[in-house]
Amino acid sequence: MKIVVIGGSGLIGSKLVRKLREHGHEAVAASPGSGVNTLTGEGLAEALKGAPVVVDVSNSPSWEDAAVMKFFETSTRNLLAYEEAAGVGHHVALSVVGTERLLESGYFRAKMAQENLIKGSSIPYSIIHATQFFEFVKGITDFSTAGNKVLLPPALIQPMAADDVASAVGRIAMGSPVNGTVEVGGPEQFRLDELVRRFLAARKDPREVVTDPHARYYGVELSERTLVPGDDARLGETRFETWLSQPTGQIQSTKPQPAA
Ligand SMILES: NC(=O)c1ccc[n+]([C@@H]2O[C@H](COP(=O)([O-])OP(=O)(O)OC[C@H]3O[C@@H](n4cnc5c(N)ncnc54)[C@H](OP(=O)(O)O)[C@@H]3O)[C@@H](O)[C@H]2O)c1
């Protein structure tokens, strides 16, 4: 089956494209680098030709409030219009667990706008809410650092490996549209402050985590369960300690990290 992966060069997209190809599918990795730009529409008509499924795992290059809103609104509108014209039968999009509880943040208001456009379109869809990727813990840490201290609340978090996210997205993309939201998460819950302490210890990073119940997460005051999925979430297998001990667990993205 031909499956177009928008954001196919990104962290999740590149893993997803590899997995789909391993399963014998014709996975098209679509991104500006391969001549497909959802903001301008460039290359979309050609890429979508004959594809019953489109997976959107793109992300905005900027997370400034207005820029991220413009990215998700414009790219989603364009993508859905081109999909409608091409007769796409399943639109799959990756979003974040708790998006509806994180609307103090401009990034999550933009993700919510993306979700609402999908729900309002005529194309059958599946929205996947994933928890924070293990690969994103460094981004959370750096964002919350002041001097040598990392200020974090003790809220619960249930992170997962990007590899498990890609597997879950692939499985859902191969299934029938759910016309709703599916949650995926990691196998264990942590306290956010404790998770980052473990991460820093494993990296031999001297920064000190200071627990502060009112410390904000990308500008949002978290309650105990803001970031965790419900009981029906499908869980990935990879444990944080296992990921930390693998060489790939040490490889960090050079890109700035979004508030997800
Ligand atoms: N970080 C987390 O913990 C987390 C948790 C749950 C859900 N999510 C969601 O997961 C999704 C994917 O995140 P990620 O970390 O895999 O992203 P990423 O590594 O930053 O990759 C973003 C992708 O989007 C592409 N892109 C950017 N502008 C584009 C445009 N105008 N047209 C087409 N493609 C464009 C990029 O192409 P280039 O390579 O050419 O720049 C790249 O392939 C995001 O939507 C995010 O909200 C993240």
pLDDT of residue 248: 62
pLDDT at residue 37 in the model: 98
129 has which bridge partners?
95, 183
Using the mean position of ligand 1's atoms as its centre, give its distance from the Cα of residue 36 in Å: 14
Kindly state the average pLDDT of the residues 137-149.
97
Q: Is the CB of 94 under 6 A from ligand 1?
A: yes
The whole-number average pLDDT for the span 231-236 is 98
Give the number of the atom of ligand 1 that is nearest the alpha carbon of residue 56. 45
Q: Are 197 and 146 in contact (CB under 8 A)?
A: no
Q: What is the mean pLDDT of the chain?
A: 95
Mean pLDDT, residues 103-121 taken together: 98
Which residue has the CA at smallest separation from atom 48 of ligand 1? Answer: 260
The pLDDT value given to residue 78: 98
- Is the CB of residue 99 below 6 angstroms from any atom belonging to ligand 1? no
Ligand 1 within 6 A of CB of 58: yes
Tens digit of pLDDT for each residue in 2-38? 999 999 999 999 999 999 999 999 999 999 999 999 9
7 lines ligand 1 (CB under 6 A): yes
Residue nearest atom 5 of ligand 1, based on CA coordinates: 132
DSSP character string of 126-139: EEEEE--BGGGHHH
Q: Is the dihedral of CA 37, 14, 198, 188 positive or negative?
A: positive
pLDDT in tens, 167-210: 999 999 999 999 999 999 999 999 999 999 999 999 999 999 99
59, 7 contact by CB (below 8 A)? yes
Neighbours of 218 (CB within 10 A): 20
Cα separation, 260 vs 243, whole angstroms: 19
Residue nearest to atom 1 of ligand 1 (CA): 260
* The pLDDT of residue 251: 45
- Output the pLDDT for position 247: 78
Find the mean pLDDT for residues 204-226. Answer: 97
Share of the chain above pLDDT 70, in %: 95
pLDDT of 72 > 60? The answer is yes
How high is the pLDDT of residue 259? 46
Residue 253 has pLDDT above 90, yes or no: no
Q: Check pocket membership of 249 for ligand 1, CB cut-off 6 A.
A: no
In this predicted model, which residue has the larger pLDDT, 134 or 255?
A: 134
Q: Locate the ligand 1 atom nearest the alpha carbon of residue 132 and give its number.
A: 3
What confidence tens digit (pLDDT) does each residue in 31-65 have? Answer: 999 999 999 999 999 999 999 999 999 999 999 99
List of E strands, the chain: 2-6, 26-30, 53-56, 90-96, 125-130, 145-146, 149-152, 156-157, 180-185, 190-191, 208-211, 234-235
Centroid of ligand 1 to alpha carbon of 7 (angstroms): 6
**Is the predicted pLDDT of residue 154 greater than 70, yes or no?**
yes
pLDDT at 45: 98
Do residues 107 and 68 touch, judged by C-beta distance below 8 A? yes
High-pLDDT (> 90) share of the chain, %: 94
